[in-house]
Amino acid sequence: MASAHDRAVLQAIFNPTSPFGDVPGLDLEEELIDDDSGFDTELLKQVRELEVRGVSAAEAGDLQGALQLFSQAIHILPERASAYNNRAQALRLLGDTAGALADLDRAVTLSGSAGRTACQALVQRGLLRRLQCQNDAARADFERAAALGSEFARQQVVALNPYAALCNKMLSEVINKLRNPDVSEMQ
């Protein structure tokens, strides 16, 4: 049975353009949970139901309805990060980037930069910042999300690092030449 180190070495050999250390199946983001223990259980149940309905409304194309449901959830538990993260997505889809960024900032702050919601909010904020050509701020968000276990964020960190991208490209070229040697170079 291969160890984690063995899998990482094989990943680097067979997928030279992927970030070093990335081993498929080790995305820690899926294991993150939010600490909702400080909230009243009945209110938390109400808020979660509103969020589920909001997500369903957004998936059905009713972004205004989703926005209202997420806002209701925020009104009930204004110190819970998840509804801000969800509302930010609805705002983004409606074209309100400034509102989305404000909600993502709030989600990161309320989450204490830990847990699933923080990870998701950091990735979403990083993407919005990248679209606004704020690459340094985007990279900082992706680095924080990567530290929480997001595979996607790790990939974005590498994509935003020109030196790592150049090294990965050069390594890929060397491995491709080793796999497919040019016969004319051998003579």
**What are the mean pLDDT values of the chain's consecutive 10-residue runs (187 residues total)?**
51 47 51 90 97 96 97 98 96 96 98 93 96 94 94 89 68 80 61
Q: Is residue 21 part of a domain?
A: no
- Residue 133 belongs to domain with CATH number: 1.25.40.10
For residue 58, give the nearest of 47, 72, 68 by alpha carbon: 68
Task: Domain of residue 31: give its range.
Answer: 27-178
Q: How far is 171 from 134, CA to CA, in rounded Å? A: 28
Q: How far is 77 from 37, CA to CA, in rounded Å? A: 13
Q: Is residue 69 part of a domain?
A: yes
Mean pLDDT in the chain?
84
For residue 107, give the nearest of 96, 121, 93 by alpha carbon: 121
pTM above 0.75, yes or no: no
